[in-house]
Structures are given as C-alpha cells and as structure tokens.
Structure 1
Amino acid sequence: MTTNRPTVIEVEHLTVSYQAKPALLDVSVKIESDQLIGVIGPNGAGKSTFIKAVLGFVKPDLGTVLINGKSAQKAKGEVAYVPQRGAVDWDFPITVKEVALMGRYQKIPWYTSPKAADYEAAFNALEMVRMQDFAERQIGELSGGQQQRVFMARALAQGSDILLLDEPFAGVDAATERAILDVLERAKNSGKTLVVVHHDLSTAAEYFDKLILIKQRMYAYGTPSVVLNEDLLSKVYEGRLRIFSDIIKKGEA
C-alpha cells in the first residue's frame, strides 16, 4: 500500500567543503514525514556534515535545504538536534531536569521565566525516555546511555516534529541501544520524523524505514532492501568492509 506523506526535508545539490576539502558533493534527497531514517556510510563520509547542513550549522558552497518548505533560518524551532556525546561538556553543573527544560528555551521570551507548561513538557519528555527518576541528578553522574536519553528528552521537550540525531547509539551497550531505539520508535509513532546518523550496518535494516547511503555523494536512498546490497556497499566502502551475508539478508527481508 502506498502512503502519500508530505516532504518535510528537501535537499537539492548540497555541496559543502572545509578549507577546500569536499565534505559533501551534489547531494539531493527528499525526506517524507513520520519515518525513521538512517544515514550510513564509512568514517569521514560526510554524515555529520549532512546533519549540520540541514540544521544550518554549516554554510553550503552550493545547493539549498528546505525544512517544511522554508530555509533553516526561518524554520528554527521546527527541528530539534541531538549531538554526539563527545560534543557535550558533561562536567557542567546542570541537572537532568534542567537539561530537559533547555528544550523549551526557544519558546520562552528572554524577559520571562519558564511557566508550568514548560516544566510539564520537560517532565513529559523525561518520562518518554524513562529518565524521570533521575531528574535531580547532575548529568555527569549518569552513564553514557542515560546521558544520551537526557539529550533526547531535551529535543523532545522542544516540541518539534523533526529530530536529527548524530550517532545516538555510539558507545552504548546492547541493552541501552534497545532502550534508545524504543524511544525513537515511540517518537516516530507519535508523528515525528527522525533522521539518525548510524554506523552499524548489521542493525541498519532492523532499525530504519529508509536509509541514506553517503560517501561525500549520495549513493542511494530508499528502503533497506534497496540500499543494503552487496554492489552498493562494496563500492562505497571500497573493500574496507567485510560484507556479511546476514546484512544483505536483513536488507532483503
């Protein structure tokens, strides 16, 4: 059955370079709503740059990015972001509930304090990621997986329908990965679109509705059965990846 979903992210001919070194070359993709999208590719392929370009954090050399038909600057507040854990100062003296409340700041005028509705949204987000019992903890006291879930709560508290996550599964154990995936799936089922940088091909077919395969250029975008095939993966990973038959079978499932 074909479902007509609106396009929420439209990228056309996106080209980004750092000091004349290309990070992305002529990437074009349309991402539809209410899906869990994985961004895969080898190390240094431009996956994180893709996310940052969509957010407007990096300026493209060429091309455009539209979010709900608007530029990233005009769509502020419509997209939430969960960075890599390594990009966060975990020693900063802030509690779990304060991190979640940060997701409301764009909605709070600078001259006022958070209102009851803001605290409720932050607490509901902590409940969604099952971190409400840690609300008074300092973030540095948490495990890596718990920290990741707190920053997911901050993104959810923002109330945006589009969430971009940069390697949320990195450095966590299998049980924590399952817990994070559960949060992502529940967010998708509540009507959100999630775009997730992911490095593990062995779980990509199981976790995502569609995959974007990037190595500077976009090599494929589609269901796991389309993207996870031996010819494409061999081309993108250039023999550095051992192609396991179970990955291919998962993609075909």
Structure 2
Amino acid sequence: MSCRQALLLSSSNCHGYSLLEFAKEEICLFLKKNAVNEIIFVPYAQNDFNGYTHKIKSVIDPWGYKVTGLHTYPDPANAVMSSKAIFVGGGNTFMLLKRLYEANLVNLIKSRVFEGHLLYIGSSAGTNVATKSIHTTNDMPIIYPPSFEAIGIVPFNINPHYIDIVESVTHKGETRDQRIIEYLDMPHAAPVLGLKEGAILNVNGNTLKITGVAGAVIFNKDKTKTEVPVGTDVSFLLNE
C-alpha cells in the first residue's frame, strides 16, 4: 500500500476567498497531523521566484508554518531530500515540468512521496505535474519539457480550473469538454478528473476524496462524464 499523502488544489484562488483561504483549514490539518512546520515552496512555474515565494510566504507563515523557496537552496535535490513537505505553485505547466526535470526532481519527488517521507501540496500547474502527464493542462506550450510524463502521484490526469459548459453563453469556440474528449481519443489517454475552482483532491495512501468548497467532474475513457460533489470518495480512479 502506498504511503503517499497529497493535497491537489485546482487553484490557489477561489471566488469569495483571499489567496488560499478556502484551503487553509485543510492544509493546516494536513501539516499538523504529520508534525510538519516547515514547507519548501517550488516557484518554478513562474519567472519571478522571489516575488512568487514572498506572495505564498506572506499567506502561510502567519498560519504558523515557515515557507522557504526552493530556489534559495544551492542544491534543490538535496533540499527536497531533507524536506518533509513541498508546495508546488501554479503558473505555466510546461515551464514548471521542464525545470523539475532539469533539477532531477521528478523521480525524486515521486519516490519520496510514495515512501511516505514527503508531503505534496500542489496548486494549478503544481497539481498538473503531480499526475500521470500534463496532457490536460490549460496552459500554452511556451517551452518544451523533455517529456509530458509527470511525477505520477496519481495514475490519471487532472484538468484544473475546470469550467462546465454554460448553455446561455453565445461564444461558439471550443469548450473544455471538447478538448478533454480530444485527449481521450488518444491511445495513451487516462481518465481525467476536472477540478472546479475551490476543489481539492485529497490523496491519503490508496484513498482519494474530493474536498474543498467545490466538486469535480470525471471524464472516463469511454468519454462518459460523471459529476462528483464535495465529499465523494473517488479511490476507484486508482484502478482505472
């Protein structure tokens, strides 16, 4: 049985809440139950490492947890090896994954999470790279990682910021559903979990649960779509 523990957020921002406020209680409980009081923040999805780290630090430090940017360590791999918890922030998924590969962190993070030595918190792009691959990111490919294969904390894909089709909208462009179905047409496709804003996938060993303040949608490999409200156990996705 895997000892992995992770919180995979659709986003750090949610309408009606300040930055990370909707997830504060769950993040604090997650860290407290594991006796963690220091977090390494991974700002690789954006270019202003100092500014991005300061933004997250200014929110989480007052909660009683010390945040330090991974970019401030001379050896990122050694820092991750020594850490008990990381928070991988959002931005551009392609850039994030490229930098994780360059720092030799993809397999290292996966092994430490599965061994139960490292807690993983991801948001947006940080959630994308925690999954099987980044094929279902919403971001533009502004740079090329060596592979689209990601960390693989869960064996399926996630689409953060998922938005349902709104029938009253007059825009006739491609919908999120259509793009996900295009992915599902591929032979390498895995099921896709669409996380609505405010949704969190709570990973605890072989148990997966939708938490947060919003639900999710599951796109199965046969292209059927299932609505998933907050509180639903979706552990079956590990076996799909």
TM-score normalised to structure 1 length: 0.36
TM-score normalised to structure 2 length: 0.37
Larger radius of gyration: 1
Between Structure 1 and Structure 2, the one with more helix by share is 1
